[in-house]
Each structure stands twice: as structure tokens, then as C-alpha cells.
Amino acid sequence: MPVVSRRRFLSTTAGLGAGLGAVAAAGGGALAAQVEKSAKESSSDLRGLPAGWRTMKKLDAHNHVMQGVHKPGADWSAVERTVEAAKILGIDTLYCSRPLTGGVMASIEAVRDANDSVLAAMKRYPDVIAGYCFVQPGNGKDALEEIDRCIDAGMIGIKLYNQFKYSDPAVFPVAEKCIELKIPFLGHSAYLTDPKTKEAQPRTSNARDFGELATRYPELLLILGHINGGGDWEWAIRTLRDFPTVYLDTSGSVLEDDTIDLCVRELGHRRLLFATDLTMEGGVGKILGAKLTPEQREDIFWRNFQGILDRRPK
């Protein structure tokens, strides 16, 4: 477990002097050592959490680098905070993308620029950050070439946002490329029931769109992103019962009780991939709070996703 000092933790907030004087002054103690101690000594574990939860292996299958950190003089603070949080929570690897949001039909130059920031983060934190290539299918042949560029540079899969529904034929060449390279296709998803949100994201794919793509391409390593990313997750889980080849990741800002448990009851635990999508404490907490056997928890925390990664050619 790498060292994160308390002084360093506090220094990455806006100052934290007045309200935390004694805490800030205390700094210097190695947080990592405390974390390891916590994992070993149940006395410092909170009773409601599984013992040693911090040291359980975790692969975060859906996370982000959302800043242009590849540019000179870039502000790395958000990435640093994300990496620091991963260390504190015992997340071994963050699989990150930088999607262009807001439904923007981004040019290939903008897409390359977004992916370059993830590549820069991978270079700076090779032991923590891995990358997904963001793709805008409307870029056609350029999109496919961008996938090659990113995978050759060490990325592990592709990430789509809401520029196209995944049942749209524009997406098919991207799916075929993923099959050819044996890489995962992670897609933004939500079954939105709020009229305002739906209006703002008319091409957001729901579980049925994923199902249509999976039916067309049963060999595709398709991951429905953030089951708790906002939207009716019960509907999504029910729908996915009919599409057994679709994986789903557990991330999202919604921390609703029974989500993970319902996934396991309805879909089995092997299709579930631990992820946080930047809701890092809650994302870990959901998996710890679900009624799982230790083996099921391990599978969800890392083994299921490792199985997907292992399909790529060595």
C-alpha cells in the first residue's frame, strides 16, 4: 500500500487550517501504515464492514480522467485526488476514460485530444491508471483508427458515451473492432424516467439498446456502464435477464440499497464488475454492504473483470 500522509491529504483541500488545526498539525504520520494496521487489526475496523476490506483486491472498471492533463502546465490535482482516494480505499487499478459529454458530436481531433489526456495519466501513474479509448462512432474510419492508436499505446478497451444509441448501425463497426481485438466495450447507460433528463440526453442507451447490440454480436465483451448512474436500475436489471452476454458495472452516484443484491439474485454475480465512476467511497461501500459470500465479493471486486482483460491477446 503506497504512502499517503495526512499532511498531504489535507494539503490537497482548500487549506483546512482553521477548523482542523490540530489535525493538520499532526500530519507526517504515514496513512498507508495506518491503513494496513486497520486491515490487520479488527479493533480499528468499523464493526459493520468486513474485516480487512481495504486490502481486498479491487479493479475499478469504470473511472475517469476528466481534465486535459496532457497539456503543458496542466492541473493534475483532480487526478491526484482520484489516485489518492484509490490508495486509501485499496483500489489497485482505475480503468479510466475521458468521454466528451453533453451529446457533443465531437470531431476526431477532439476525441484524440481527450484520449491523449488518459494516455498522459497512464504514463504518470502506470501502476494505478489504465485506459479506455473514448470513441465517437460518427467519426467512421477515423474512430476505428483511433481505437488502434489507443490500444497500441496500452489501453484496454473502448468507452462510448451518448452520441449514438448502441442499437444504431453507426455503432456496429466499433463493436466489430472490439470483437476483432477482443477488448471490452463499455457504454454509458441509463433508463431515464425523468422528462427533463431524457430531453437533455435523448440518445442515452438503456438496457434494451445494450440487449439489441448483444443479440447482434453475442461474442462482444459488452459492459453496461453504471447500473446506479441515474435512471431506473430495477428496470435495467429486469431487462438484462433476457441478455445473458451483457456485463454490467456497479458504479454510479446512486447508492441505493439492494441494487447489488438484486443484480446477483436476477443475473448471477459473475456478470457484475466493481466500479465507482468517481463515487469512490460509495462504490466500495455498496459491494461491502451487499449480502455476498467472500468468494462472490472477490469475483465482483476484481476476478470477473480480470477474466475480461485476460481474453485480450498477450
Number of residues that bind another protein (CB under 8 A): 63
Q: Which is nearer to another protein, 139 or 279 (CB)?
A: 279
Sole binder of another protein in the list 41, 258, 266, 295 (CB under 8 A): 258
The span of 28-36, 64-72, 113-121, 205-213 binding another protein (CB under 8 A) equals: 28-36
Sole binder of another protein in the list 59, 66, 69, 85 (CB under 8 A): 85
Q: Which helix (H) or strand (E) holds 2?
A: none
Q: What is the largest CA-CA distance in the chain?
A: 60
- Which residues is 133 bridged to in the sheet? 158
| Residue of 277, 189, 5, 299 lying closest to 287 (CA atoms) | 299
Sole binder of another protein in the list 23, 74, 100, 181 (CB under 8 A): 23
At 58, the amino acid letter reads K
Contact 37/44 with Cβ under 8 angstroms?
yes
d(CA 133, CA 74): 20
State the helix-helix crossing angle for 141-152 and 172-181, rounded to 10 degrees: 30
| Minimum distance of another protein from residue 265's CB (angstroms) | 12
Residues 6 or more apart whose Cβ sits within 8 Å of residue 182: 221, 311, 312, 313
| Minimum distance of another protein from residue 141's CB (angstroms) | 35
- Residue 2 sits in the site that holds another protein (CB under 8 A): no
Residues within window 169-208 making contact with another protein, judged by CB under 8 A: 190-194, 197
- Residue 88 sits in the site that holds another protein (CB under 8 A): yes
Residues that bind another protein (CB under 8 A): 6, 9-10, 12-20, 22-23, 26, 31, 34-35, 38, 44-49, 53-54, 81-82, 84-85, 88-89, 190-194, 197, 230-234, 253-260, 278-282, 284-286, 288-290
